[in-house]
A and B are shown apart, each in its own frame.
Chain A
Amino acid sequence: SQTIHQWPATLVQPVGSPLSLECTVEGTSNPNLYWYRQAAGRGLQLLFYSVGIGQISSEVPQNLSASRPQDRQFILSSKKLLLSDSGFYLCAWGQGYYEQYFGPGTRLTVT
Protein backbone atom coordinates (compact mmCIF):
# COMPACT_ATOMS: atom_id res chain seq x y z
CA SER A 1 0.00 0.00 0.00
CA GLN A 2 1.02 3.59 -0.49
CA THR A 3 2.15 5.88 2.29
CA ILE A 4 3.20 9.50 2.37
CA HIS A 5 5.54 11.03 4.91
CA GLN A 6 6.14 14.63 5.82
CA TRP A 7 8.63 16.11 8.22
CA PRO A 8 9.02 17.85 10.46
CA ALA A 9 5.58 17.80 12.06
CA THR A 10 6.02 21.22 13.65
CA LEU A 11 8.53 23.98 13.09
CA VAL A 12 9.11 27.38 14.65
CA GLN A 13 11.41 29.62 12.66
CA PRO A 14 12.42 33.30 12.93
CA VAL A 15 11.68 35.76 10.14
CA GLY A 16 14.45 35.75 7.56
CA SER A 17 15.58 32.19 8.24
CA PRO A 18 15.61 29.46 5.55
CA LEU A 19 13.09 26.67 5.25
CA SER A 20 13.16 23.11 4.00
CA LEU A 21 10.17 20.78 4.25
CA GLU A 22 10.40 17.29 2.89
CA CYS A 23 7.78 14.89 1.58
CA THR A 24 8.30 11.31 0.42
CA VAL A 25 5.89 8.77 -1.01
CA GLU A 26 6.22 5.00 -0.83
CA GLY A 27 4.48 2.24 -2.73
CA THR A 28 3.86 3.99 -6.04
CA SER A 29 5.86 5.21 -8.99
CA ASN A 30 5.74 8.42 -11.02
CA PRO A 31 3.11 10.08 -8.86
CA ASN A 32 1.92 13.63 -9.29
CA LEU A 33 3.05 15.55 -6.22
CA TYR A 34 1.52 18.65 -4.67
CA TRP A 35 2.29 21.23 -1.97
CA TYR A 36 -0.63 23.04 -0.36
CA ARG A 37 -0.85 25.63 2.39
CA GLN A 38 -3.65 26.33 4.84
CA ALA A 39 -3.50 29.67 6.60
CA ALA A 40 -5.40 29.92 9.88
CA GLY A 41 -9.13 29.65 9.20
CA ARG A 42 -8.62 29.48 5.46
CA GLY A 43 -9.07 26.78 2.87
CA LEU A 44 -6.51 24.96 0.77
CA GLN A 45 -4.14 26.94 -1.42
CA LEU A 46 -2.16 25.01 -4.04
CA LEU A 47 1.45 26.22 -4.05
CA PHE A 48 3.27 23.83 -6.41
CA TYR A 49 2.68 20.64 -8.30
CA SER A 50 4.91 18.27 -10.18
CA VAL A 51 4.15 15.60 -12.78
CA GLY A 52 7.71 14.27 -12.96
CA ILE A 53 11.30 14.65 -11.79
CA GLY A 54 12.50 18.21 -12.28
CA GLN A 55 9.07 19.36 -13.50
CA ILE A 56 7.61 21.97 -11.15
CA SER A 57 4.62 24.24 -11.75
CA SER A 58 4.08 27.20 -9.46
CA GLU A 59 0.59 28.39 -8.77
CA VAL A 60 1.31 31.35 -6.50
CA PRO A 61 4.27 33.75 -6.93
CA GLN A 62 5.99 34.13 -3.59
CA ASN A 63 9.25 33.53 -1.81
CA LEU A 64 8.78 29.77 -1.74
CA SER A 65 10.22 27.26 -4.19
CA ALA A 66 9.87 23.53 -4.73
CA SER A 67 12.10 20.81 -6.08
CA ARG A 68 11.68 17.16 -7.01
CA PRO A 69 15.13 15.58 -6.96
CA GLN A 70 13.78 12.01 -7.04
CA ASP A 71 10.61 10.39 -8.33
CA ARG A 72 8.96 10.16 -4.92
CA GLN A 73 10.54 13.10 -3.11
CA PHE A 74 9.18 16.64 -3.05
CA ILE A 75 10.85 19.49 -1.18
CA LEU A 76 9.49 22.91 -0.29
CA SER A 77 12.06 25.61 0.40
CA SER A 78 12.52 29.24 1.17
CA LYS A 79 15.66 31.32 1.45
CA LYS A 80 14.10 33.91 3.81
CA LEU A 81 10.85 33.30 5.63
CA LEU A 82 8.20 35.98 6.08
CA LEU A 83 5.62 36.21 8.83
CA SER A 84 2.97 35.52 6.19
CA ASP A 85 4.54 32.12 5.50
CA SER A 86 3.08 30.76 8.73
CA GLY A 87 0.52 28.05 8.19
CA PHE A 88 -0.15 24.36 7.83
CA TYR A 89 1.71 22.82 4.89
CA LEU A 90 0.35 19.70 3.28
CA CYS A 91 1.97 17.43 0.75
CA ALA A 92 -0.19 15.19 -1.42
CA TRP A 93 0.24 12.63 -4.19
CA GLY A 94 -2.09 11.53 -6.93
CA GLN A 95 -2.24 9.85 -10.31
CA GLY A 96 -4.02 11.13 -13.35
CA TYR A 97 -7.26 12.97 -12.79
CA TYR A 98 -8.16 10.99 -9.71
CA GLU A 99 -8.09 11.61 -6.01
CA GLN A 100 -5.13 12.94 -4.06
CA TYR A 101 -3.78 11.45 -0.87
CA PHE A 102 -2.41 13.70 1.83
CA GLY A 103 0.41 13.54 4.31
CA PRO A 104 0.04 14.47 7.99
CA GLY A 105 1.14 18.06 7.45
CA THR A 106 3.74 20.44 8.91
CA ARG A 107 2.69 23.27 11.21
CA LEU A 108 5.05 26.21 10.50
CA THR A 109 5.12 29.23 12.79
CA VAL A 110 7.29 32.15 11.73
CA THR A 111 8.14 34.43 14.64
Chain B
Amino acid sequence: AQSVTQLDSQVPVFEEAPVELRCNYSSSVSVYLFWYVQYPNQGLQLLLKYLSGSTLVKGINGFEAEFNKSQTSFHLRKPSVHISDTAEYFCAVSPRGSNYQLIWGAGTKLIIKP
Protein backbone atom coordinates (compact mmCIF):
# COMPACT_ATOMS: atom_id res chain seq x y z
CA ALA B 1 0.00 0.00 0.00
CA GLN B 2 1.12 3.54 -0.70
CA SER B 3 1.90 5.98 2.08
CA VAL B 4 3.30 9.45 2.63
CA THR B 5 5.31 10.47 5.68
CA GLN B 6 5.98 14.04 6.67
CA LEU B 7 8.68 13.65 9.24
CA ASP B 8 8.04 16.83 11.21
CA SER B 9 4.67 17.88 12.59
CA GLN B 10 6.00 21.38 13.33
CA VAL B 11 9.02 23.29 12.09
CA PRO B 12 9.93 26.54 13.87
CA VAL B 13 12.32 28.81 12.02
CA PHE B 14 13.44 32.41 12.29
CA GLU B 15 12.33 34.92 9.71
CA GLU B 16 14.72 35.19 6.73
CA ALA B 17 16.29 31.82 7.56
CA PRO B 18 16.14 28.87 5.13
CA VAL B 19 13.73 26.00 5.69
CA GLU B 20 13.30 22.43 4.51
CA LEU B 21 10.10 20.45 5.03
CA ARG B 22 10.61 16.76 4.55
CA CYS B 23 8.39 14.32 2.73
CA ASN B 24 9.00 10.62 2.05
CA TYR B 25 6.69 8.26 0.25
CA SER B 26 6.26 4.56 -0.31
CA SER B 27 4.78 3.20 -3.52
CA SER B 28 5.13 0.12 -5.69
CA VAL B 29 4.32 2.14 -8.82
CA SER B 30 5.56 5.44 -10.14
CA VAL B 31 3.94 8.53 -8.73
CA TYR B 32 3.19 12.15 -9.33
CA LEU B 33 4.10 14.38 -6.37
CA PHE B 34 2.60 17.56 -4.98
CA TRP B 35 3.03 20.11 -2.23
CA TYR B 36 0.10 22.18 -0.96
CA VAL B 37 -0.14 25.07 1.49
CA GLN B 38 -3.07 25.79 3.78
CA TYR B 39 -3.42 29.13 5.52
CA PRO B 40 -5.71 29.27 8.58
CA ASN B 41 -9.37 28.71 7.75
CA GLN B 42 -8.72 28.45 4.03
CA GLY B 43 -8.68 25.71 1.45
CA LEU B 44 -5.50 24.09 0.18
CA GLN B 45 -3.50 25.82 -2.53
CA LEU B 46 -1.15 23.98 -4.86
CA LEU B 47 2.46 25.13 -4.33
CA LEU B 48 4.20 22.94 -6.88
CA LYS B 49 4.09 19.58 -8.59
CA TYR B 50 6.37 16.99 -10.12
CA LEU B 51 4.99 15.03 -13.05
CA SER B 52 8.12 14.23 -15.07
CA GLY B 53 11.34 15.77 -16.35
CA SER B 54 13.68 17.85 -14.22
CA THR B 55 13.74 16.65 -10.64
CA LEU B 56 14.05 20.20 -9.29
CA VAL B 57 10.67 21.86 -9.38
CA LYS B 58 9.99 25.52 -8.70
CA GLY B 59 6.67 26.70 -7.36
CA ILE B 60 4.90 29.78 -6.15
CA ASN B 61 6.02 32.05 -3.31
CA GLY B 62 9.70 31.17 -3.81
CA PHE B 63 9.37 27.51 -2.86
CA GLU B 64 11.08 24.64 -4.64
CA ALA B 65 11.23 20.89 -4.19
CA GLU B 66 13.50 18.13 -5.39
CA PHE B 67 12.34 14.68 -6.35
CA ASN B 68 14.78 11.96 -5.30
CA LYS B 69 13.63 8.64 -6.71
CA SER B 70 16.28 6.50 -4.98
CA GLN B 71 15.39 7.95 -1.58
CA THR B 72 11.67 8.22 -2.41
CA SER B 73 11.67 11.78 -1.13
CA PHE B 74 10.23 15.10 -2.23
CA HIS B 75 11.49 17.70 0.22
CA LEU B 76 10.25 21.28 0.07
CA ARG B 77 12.69 24.16 0.51
CA LYS B 78 12.76 27.92 0.65
CA PRO B 79 15.99 29.92 0.99
CA SER B 80 14.51 32.73 3.10
CA VAL B 81 11.14 32.57 4.83
CA HIS B 82 8.79 35.40 5.74
CA ILE B 83 6.10 35.81 8.37
CA SER B 84 3.55 35.34 5.60
CA ASP B 85 4.79 31.76 5.07
CA THR B 86 3.25 30.73 8.40
CA ALA B 87 0.88 27.95 7.35
CA GLU B 88 0.46 24.21 7.21
CA TYR B 89 2.10 22.36 4.35
CA PHE B 90 0.90 19.06 2.96
CA CYS B 91 2.74 16.61 0.75
CA ALA B 92 0.69 14.31 -1.50
CA VAL B 93 1.33 11.62 -4.10
CA SER B 94 -0.80 10.25 -6.89
CA PRO B 95 0.13 6.67 -7.76
CA ARG B 96 -0.22 6.06 -11.48
CA GLY B 97 -2.94 3.58 -12.18
CA SER B 98 -4.71 4.34 -8.92
CA ASN B 99 -8.35 5.27 -8.53
CA TYR B 100 -7.70 9.02 -8.89
CA GLN B 101 -7.06 9.54 -5.19
CA LEU B 102 -4.21 11.45 -3.66
CA ILE B 103 -2.33 9.89 -0.76
CA TRP B 104 -1.73 12.62 1.83
CA GLY B 105 0.88 13.27 4.44
CA ALA B 106 -0.24 14.40 7.89
CA GLY B 107 0.98 17.96 7.33
CA THR B 108 3.77 20.13 8.73
CA LYS B 109 3.08 23.40 10.49
CA LEU B 110 5.65 26.01 9.60
CA ILE B 111 6.07 28.50 12.44
CA ILE B 112 8.01 31.64 11.63
CA LYS B 113 9.66 33.35 14.59
CA PRO B 114 10.33 37.10 14.26
Contact = CB atoms under 8 A, between A and B. Distances in A.
A43 B107 contact: yes
Interface in A72-98: 88, 90, 92, 94, 96-98
Interface in A9-43: 32, 43
Interface residues of B, number: 25
A100 interface: yes
B43 interface: yes
Interface residues of A, number: 23
B44 A97 contact: no
The interface residues of chain B, by DSSP majority, are classed as: loop
Nearest to A57: B99
Contacts of B44: 44, 90, 92, 102
A44 B44 CA distance: 10
Interface-central residue, B51, B97, B102, B104, by most chain A CB under 10 Å:
B102
Contacts of B14: none
A99 B101 contact: no
Given A97-B32, A97-B100, A44 B90 contact: yes
Given A97-B94, A98-B32, A99-B34, A90 B43 contact: yes
Interface of A: 6, 32, 43-44, 46, 49, 51, 57, 88, 90, 92, 94, 96-105, 107
5 contacts: A44-B44, A97-B32, A98-B49, A102-B36, A105-B41
